[in-house]
Amino acid sequence: MHVDGPAMPGEAEPLAYEPGRGPVTKDEVLGNMRRRQRIKNMDQPRERQVSLAESLPDITGEKTPVGIRLPTVLVEYMHLIALLENLPLIAVIEAALMHKALSAPSPPEQAKESYLGLQELLSGDDRPLQKQGDDLDLRRLRAKARDLLATIDKLEGRSSG
């Protein structure tokens, strides 16, 4: 994608995972946002094109509607957590997303394994939710998911008993 002047990280082309990287930076998020805005503008007549962002929006500012489908059991967990924490459901979901946004990205294969392991923890049975052939080691996935949950607990200042 053509960018006039110096491009921010992720602005001219999508960023790729690099081993050992830290959390995403504000410059990377802004560069990626600007690239997505440019792509969106390509399909719009000039009068409907949006100006490219110069900075990230404030976290307490405007909210973007996002339509997603979530597993019913996960939504029920979130509803109960919201009830117990005396927060609106959206605050609990936003907090979970904020934790993810502030953590370093995992290698793609590890991220997939963690996702499947977390699914398995919430399923409550020994059947894999998504068969991946013979390489799906349920015990390994559960251990990774428990490690991930312990890390989240540590970041939130809770003891993982």
CA distances from 101 to 5, 86, 94, 119 (A): 28, 23, 10, 20
Q: What is the pLDDT of residues 40-95, one digit of tens each?
A: 999 899 999 888 889 999 999 999 999 999 999 899 999 999 999 999 999 999 99
Residue spans per domain, the chain: 1-62, 72-155
Indicate the pLDDT class of residue 3, thresholds 50, 70 and 90: low
pTM above 0.75, yes or no: no
Helix axis angle for 72-85 and 108-123, nearest 10°, is: 80
Residue labelled with tokens 């991930």 = 148
Q: Which residues contact 94 (CB under 8 A, 6 or more apart)?
A: none
pLDDT at residue 150, as a whole number: 75
Q: What is the pLDDT of residues 87-135, one digit of tens each?
A: 999 999 999 999 999 999 999 999 999 898 888 888 875 554 455 544 4
pLDDT at residue 90, as a whole number: 94
Residue type, 64: T
